[in-house]
Structure 1
Amino acid sequence: MLKIMPMSPNHFQKYMDFAVNEYATEKIAAGTWTAETAQKNSQLTYDRLLPNGLATPDNFFYSIFKNSEIIGYIWFGTDNENASTAFIFDFEIYKTYQNSGFGSKTLELVSNEAKNMGFTSLGLHVFGSNSRAIHVYQKSGFNITDIKMQKQL
């Protein structure tokens, strides 16, 4: 049985250690940041978004459980441009559990959770090179709202 539960402080610290590095790596791969600045930029981004860590208001961190085992995480919060929209800042199903429908099911659980909190829509960002995630999001009812493009010179 799949369920989401509020993230424990211990899991949050492990998540933060991983997430800052992962975000820097993704931004380098996307061509947005250089290898020299990525780690610092990533840490600054997380510090800005989460000045009080797990206790930052309007941010919700969940561990994703299959039975009693954590198989991923999801972080969403109030969108800074529209308070009625919940925005997924980060979401991952661990590699071992991918391609089993857990991503789609988690999005359904989070949609219900956000709706119960009073949000009227759910948004997210996905890197253009992440075709697997794009497929899952579109299958789950997400539509493209903006496209940012870049050309290498």
Structure 2
Amino acid sequence: MDDRRVTLRRMTPAEYQSATEIREAETVEQLAERMPAELAREQTRQGTARFLPDGADTAGHHLVVAEDEAGRTVGTAWIGPDPRAGAGAATSAWLYHLRVLPEFRRQGYGAAVLAAAEQLAVRVGWTDLALNVFGGNEAAIALYQRCGYGISSMYLNKSLRA
């Protein structure tokens, strides 16, 4: 499975719309475990508007579809400048989202999409690739660790809602 290879290509407008809907729904689901669902939806919408003000045409952001060697879509990714850096000062990239379609999971495609995202970042001129992952997403955490990513900071949370 380690021999999987993917090619990244720019999303079409329809793919961008679908990927955005899926990404936002997944994010809302995760956030709603820690806050009211309506607040989670609003924060998610605000995040998309903030980081992708021009949608798929937002400068410096790469919203891509991953295709396997047979040309099948196996996943999507969003790579852009590290949001922790000042405007125009980012030397490192940020992996905002990586998704492998359900029928292709646990077959090595996650690592392949991640490797292709790293190669894209290098071509753009970024020196590092960072990301954030929800603590309960054990599959993603395991993938990132297998691919050489380490914890650089940790944010802990405890719900005090009844």
TM-score grouping bracket, smaller chain normalisation: over 0.9
* Structure 1 unpaired stretches of 5+: none
Question: Following TM superposition, by how much is the alpha carbon of 1:17 offset from its aligned partner in structure 2, in angstroms?
Answer: 2.1
Quick one: percent identity of the two aligned structures?
A: 25
Q: TM-score of the superposition, structure 1-length normalised?
A: 0.93
**Distance between the aligned counterparts of 2:159 and 2:13, measured in 1?**
41
Q: TM-score of the superposition, structure 2-length normalised?
A: 0.88
Question: Following TM superposition, by how much is the alpha carbon of 1:137 offset from its aligned partner in structure 2, in angstroms?
Answer: 0.2
**Distance between the aligned counterparts of 2:28 and 2:132, measured in 1?**
15
**Distance between the aligned counterparts of 1:37 and 1:152, measured in 2?**
15
* Structure 2 unpaired stretches of 5+: none
**Distance between the aligned counterparts of 1:16 and 1:41, measured in 2?**
14
1:9-43 superposed Cα distances (whole Å, 9 cap, x missing partner) = 221111122222221111113x1x31132222211
Pairing 1:37–2:39 present: yes
Q: Within 5 A, what are the aligned runs for 1:1-150? A: 2-29=6-33, 31=34, 33-66=35-68, 67-82=70-85, 83-150=90-157
**Distance between the aligned counterparts of 2:22 and 2:114, measured in 1?**
21
For the residue of structure 2 that corresponds to 1:39, the secondary structure is helix
- Residue 57 of structure 1 aligns with an amino acid whose one-letter code is A
Q: How many residues align?
A: 151
Spell out structure 1 runs of 4+ moving beyond 3 A. none
| Higher share of residues assigned strand | 1
